[in-house]
Amino acid sequence: MRGLDLFREHFAGFAPNYVLIGGGACEIVMEEVGLDFRATKDLDIVILVEALDAAFGERFWTFVEDGGYQQRERSTGDKEFYRFQKPENAEFPSMLELFSRAPDVITPADGSAFTPLPVDEDITSLSAILLDEDYYQALTEHRRIIDGVPVLDERLLIPFKAKAHLDLAARRERGEAVDQKSVRKHRADVFRLLQLLADSERIVIAGPILADLATFAEKVDKDGDFKPSDIGIKSDVKEQTTRLRTIYSLGAE
């Protein structure tokens, strides 16, 4: 992934302060075992408010300045999203997305200008997930370090992706402007990540998260339009949803 080595080097020593989620985390956990993930260009970073440290905020802003990110966007409100794009230095990640449940976690340089952050489907979905206490608590408990970078463990990335799929699908059904490609992307990611788990594994997570995962499995079976072969998995959809139910102890269909 472009810029990951620079990011790792710059944030050495700050692992307790943040965790990578989203496509960037998926790529890292899959490449760890030699599997490919779909192309992704952004790093999704969640600041852990329990380990809030002014030094991390300052360090992050230095990274933004060093990369020369020309497009800088910021949301408003009690929670904060930042998006940084178009780095002048081509060695830096193409896009950084930063989320915090607390305001004012980074310290921009004097005179720094932000434009309002457009509220798109991914931001709305991620915000809803991270503001959910069960999901956020699970996030803080299911991190691991890979080559110096804290990422959300695949055992929780799977429920996060399933929840994003459910959320986006429901909003699209209500008539909101949600790209069908985004809905399908998160669904496919669940089964890409499921390849990392052994059939014998049994995962224990919070009940509300398991309920969402069970709803996801039921929806995939009912929709009938997901083909594992489209993402290089040689099995049928029923076998995949059965594996998901077994590993997470979701019960029979």
Render pLDDT for 86-106 as a digit per residue (tens, 0 to 9).
999 999 999 999 998 877 777
> 15-19, 52-56, 96-100, 117-121: which range is least confident on average?
117-121
pLDDT band at 124 (very low <50, low <70, confident <90, very high): confident
The overall longest dimension of the chain from CA atoms, in Å, is 58
Contact in structure between 4 and 25 (CB atoms under 8 Å): no
How many CB atoms sit inside 10 A of residue 246's CB? 16
* Rounded average pLDDT over 34-48: 88
> 24-28, 105-109, 219-223: which range is least confident on average?
105-109
pLDDT value at position 92?
A: 96
Distance between CA atoms of residues 26 and 160, nearest Å: 11
Residue owning tokens 């008539």: 175
Residue owning tokens 């489907």: 121
The amino acid at residue 101 is R
- Cα–Cα distances in Å, from 2 out to 6, 24, 41, 223? 9, 10, 7, 35
Sign of CA dihedral 242, 243, 244, 249: positive
Orientation of helix 237-247 relative to helix 180-194, angle to 10°: 60
Contact in structure between 97 and 81 (CB atoms under 8 Å): yes
Distance between CA atoms of residues 18 and 151, nearest Å: 9
Distance between CA atoms of residues 154 and 177, nearest Å: 29
pLDDT value at position 119?
A: 66
pLDDT band at 177 (very low <50, low <70, confident <90, very high): confident
Distance between CA atoms of residues 100 and 163, nearest Å: 19
Domain ranges across the chain: 4-125, 153-247
C-alpha gyration radius of the chain: 18
Phi, psi (deg, nearest 5) at residue 32: -60, -30
